[in-house]
Amino acid sequence: MEARRTIFQFIEAQMSSLISTFVDFTLTAFLVKFAGWWYVYGTLAGAVAGGATNCIINYNWTFKGSEQQKRTIMLRYILVWTGSLILNTTGTAIVANILSHDGTAKAFGIVMEAKTLVAVLVAILWNFTMQKKFVYKT
C-alpha cells in the first residue's frame, strides 16, 4: 500500500513540477529573450516564481500538508527550495557553458536546453525526495 501511495505522490509531484516549470521557464524566457536580462538572473527569477507555485500546489494537493503546521512546512520548504535553486542555477550555468562553443553561453537555445536538462534531474533526484521525506514527511 505504501508503494502505491508513493507512486501516486510521485505522479502528482511531477504534474505539479510541470506546472511550476511552465511558470519558471516562461518567466525565464521572457526576462532573457525580451527584457535582456543576463541568463543567470533570469534563471534565478524563474526559479523563485516556479518554487512558489510548486509549494502552493504541493501543499494543497500532492502531499496534503494541511495536517502539519504551515510555519514548519514553510521553513522546511525554503531549505529544500534553496538547495533546488542553487542546483538549478549553478547547474544551468555549468551545462550552458559546457554546451557553448566559446564558453559564454550567449545563445538563448543553449541556455534553455541546459535549463531543461538540469531542471529534470533536480526535480526527480532532489525535489521529490526532499519534499516527501523532509518537508511533508509522508
Per-residue pLDDT tens over the stretch 25-35: 899 999 999 99
Average pLDDT of the chain, as a whole number: 87
105 confidence band (pLDDT: 50, 70, 90): low
pLDDT at 44 over 80: yes
Give this prediction's pTM.
0.75
Q: How many CB atoms lie within 10 A of CB 7?
A: 10
CA angle 7, 13, 54 (to 5 degrees): 165
CA of 67: how far to CAs of 64, 125, 127, in Å? 7, 26, 20
80 confidence band (pLDDT: 50, 70, 90): very high
Specify the higher pLDDT residue, 65 or 69.
69
Using only the alpha carbons of the chain, give its radius of gyration: 16
